[in-house]
Amino acid sequence: MRVLLYILAPIAFLCLAVATWATVLPACEASPWLGRLTLADCPPPQTAAQVALAQETRRQAVLEAEYARLQAELAEAAACKPEPRAHPGQPFDAERWQAGDLGVIQGCWALTGRIARADPQTGIVSPVERWTTCFDAAGAGAQEAAFADGAVCKGPASAAFREDGALELDLSEPAACSAGPALAGRAGACMIDAFGNADCVLSDGAADVDVALRRAEQE
């Protein structure tokens, strides 16, 4: 029994050494032959240039993956719909507007824009504080503008749809005021956006003014 142990112990040690060598150097071919360990076909160590090339290849792969991710995010952002740019008050019914139905403007609407009137004697300029226009189902109506100096101007108004889908707003007849000269007439067109908001450009013949048209608060 002791003799058998003397024989098997070296063999077990040799097997353990071969297994350890094969684990540490997996790229080499390790094989026992007549009690000796022979290494064959071990690849030569990498040069500095090869190591740098491998690192650069890995870095380029990371950059390409990041570029693809950013491209996907940009495409997703481009597909997002814009948030509604709603004016205060109830918007117009876009389908009825596009169909040219004048009934869509029936009622009273507030006009929000920078208009003013000047006192011919003092030269004091008073901005508008409240400006409304009301229409019936046929587009006939009236406008009323109240200014900071207390003057209130009233005059006729009318509206009609054009072939291009714009609403022609006619306030061209001067509006008589409770004090001072009449308010100059204005006329222009209003366009509706996808959210039912109407924006107009009105002119008094000398200058244009941008006006937002929305449902009046009292309705």
Q: Name the residue ranges covered by the structural domains of the chain.
A: 2-78, 94-215
If you average pLDDT over residues 186-199, what whole number do you get? 91
How far from 123 is each of 74, 116, 149, 180, 182, CA to CA, in Å?
55, 12, 12, 12, 15
Model confidence pLDDT, tens digit, residues 199-209: 999 999 888 99
| 125-173 pLDDT, tens digit each | 899 999 999 999 999 999 999 999 999 999 999 999 999 999 999 999 9
Question: Between β-strands 140-147 and 167-171, what pairing exists: parallel, antiparallel or unpaired?
Answer: unpaired
**Residue 68 host element (H or E):** helix 48-78
- For CA atoms 10, 13, 14, 15, give the dihedral sign: positive
Determine contact, residues 216/108, Cβ cutoff 8 Å: yes
**CATH 2.40.128 describes domain 94-215:** yes
Q: Both tokens of residue 71?
A: 């491209």
**For residue 191, pLDDT beyond 70:** yes
CB crowding 160-197: b at 16 or more within 10 Å, else e: ebeeeebbebbbbbbbebeebeebebbbbbbebbeebb
Quote the CA–CA distance of 158 and 139 in Å, as a whole number.
5
For residues 104 and 140, give the distance between their C-alpha atoms in angstroms, rounded to a whole number.
13
pTM: 0.57
Q: What is the pLDDT of residue 151?
A: 93
pLDDT digits (tens, 9 = 90+) for 32-63: 444 444 445 556 677 888 878 888 888 888 88
